[in-house]
């Protein structure tokens, strides 16, 4: 009977492991990992924290059973030879049956939360630390060898699942991102613009679109070389990402021309954003990389849905015409709008 029970338990663990590995969405994979880990150990709380080697930090990405105050402390620095560092480097699970008796368990937030026992399972892939799976309880307790073995099996599959999900995320991002500027690519922009038009039409909302063009970029390329031109475009992408709002979307439209979608933003507001802040931040980004050796500037054309166009083609064309008009008039602001707005 016991053999049959253990076989069923092992089959359940393997089934859970397969479901974890098959999940390519990182958040969903972590949620499945944590749920199964807590069921295996019959614990009341748990979390999965992932390790970022470059920053040397841990960050909680999935959690259950903890207070909001505890989870607010979701990121921390890994101290050399500290508890987290030792767990990450361990080859097996770390078990603490009673935190009260451990002098190293001094985290005041964990103590206040009432964590009395826990298992810490290191997650690694190809010998490199990935993170830690924690299961916690609020009273001192022992954990059976069978539970620890099952958790180690789940952890090994969890590491594979995390690697697969992260790789999938990177591939997806590469498919929609321009490698030079770090902005979205034109194909993704066109998909988002079509969706934004549908959303604006359905809810009766305005939104604006801005084309950003680097002045005399070909001349700059010819003078300083393509590497300098690439560096300028990289700086342009970084400056745009830094300057725009979290709700806005920026993409490389082609060559040295970038495009920004500003949801629920009328043309007057869009003009104000670009004339008072965004344009200056972009040109400051150029200045920073050139260190005063040369200067690049931008011209911007802005159009608004629905008055300047009710299709993607009409809207982009209106913004492009506004940009060309601004270039021809050389008004000083170098920002053109499809319709006149007050400065």
**CA-based end-to-end distance of the chain:** 83
Distances (CA, A) of 124 to 47, 230, 285: 16, 37, 39
- Please tell me which residue in 256, 280, 288, 308 is annotated as part of the active site: 256
Q: Are strands 335-337 and 298-305 parallel, antiparallel or unpaired?
A: parallel
Nearest alpha-carbon partner for 256 in 216, 285, 201, 284? 216
Q: Is 256 marked active-site?
A: yes
Order of strands, edge to edge, in the sheet holding 207-214?
249-254, 257-263, 207-214, 298-305, 335-337
Q: How would you write the chain as a 3-class SS string?
A: CHHHHHHHHHHHHHHHHHHHHHCCCHHHHHHHHHHHHHHHHCCCEEEEEEEECCCCEEEEEEEECCCHHHHHCCEEECCCCCHHHHHHHCCCCEEECCHHHCCCCCCHHHHHHCCCEEEEEEEEECCEEEEEEEEEECCCCCCCHHHHHHHHHHHHHHHHHHHHHHHHHHHHHHHHECCCCCCECHHHHHHHHHHHHHHHHHHCCCEEEEEEEECCHHHHHHHHCHHHHHHHHHHHHHHHHHHCCCCCEEEEEECCEEEEEEECCCHHHHHHHHHHHHHHHHHHHHHHHHCCCCCCCEEEEEEEECCCCCCHHHHHHHHHHHHHHHHHHCCCCCEEECCCCCC
Catalytic residues: 256
């Amino acid at each position: 009977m016991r053999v049959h029970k253990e076989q069923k338990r092992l089959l359940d663990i393997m089934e859970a492991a397969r479901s974890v590995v098959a999940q390519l969405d990182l958040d969903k994979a972590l949620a499945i990992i944590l749920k199964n880990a807590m069921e295996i150990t019959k614990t009341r709380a748990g979390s999965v924290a992932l390790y970022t080697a470059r920053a040397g930090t841990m960050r909680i990405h999935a959690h259950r059973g903890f207070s909001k105050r505890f989870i607010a402390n979701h990121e921390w620095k890994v101290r050399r030879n500290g508890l987290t560092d030792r767990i990450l480097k361990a080859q097996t699970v770390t078990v603490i049956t009673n935190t009260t008796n451990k002098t190293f368990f001094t985290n005041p937030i964990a103590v206040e939360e009432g964590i009395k026992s826990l298992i810490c399972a290191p997650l690694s892939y190809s010998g490199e630390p990935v993170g830690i799976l924690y299961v916690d309880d609020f009273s001192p307790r022992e954990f059976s060898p069978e539970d620890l073995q099952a958790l180690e099996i789940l952890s090994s599959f969890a590491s594979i699942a995390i690697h697969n999900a992260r790789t999938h995320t990177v591939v997806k991002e590469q498919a929609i991102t321009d490698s030079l500027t770090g902005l979205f690519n034109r194909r993704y922009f066109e998909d988002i613009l079509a969706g934004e038009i549908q959303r604006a039409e359905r809810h009766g909302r305005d939104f604006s679109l801005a084309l950003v063009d680097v002045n005399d970029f070909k001349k700059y390329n010819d003078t300083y070389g393509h590497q300098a031109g690439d560096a300028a475009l990289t700086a342009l992408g970084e400056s745009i990402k830094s300057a725009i709002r979290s709700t806005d979307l920026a993409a490389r439209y082609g060559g040295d021309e970038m495009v920004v979608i500003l949801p629920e933003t009328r043309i007057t507001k869009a003009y104000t954003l670009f004339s008072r802040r965004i344009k200056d931040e972009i040109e400051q980004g150029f200045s920073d990389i050139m260190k005063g050796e040369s200067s690049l500037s931008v011209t911007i054309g802005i159009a608004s849905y629905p008055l300047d166009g009710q299709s993607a083609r009409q809207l982009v064309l209106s913004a492009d015409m506004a940009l060309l008009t601004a270039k021809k008039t050389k008004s000083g602001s170098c920002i053109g709008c499809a319709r006149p707005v007050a400065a």
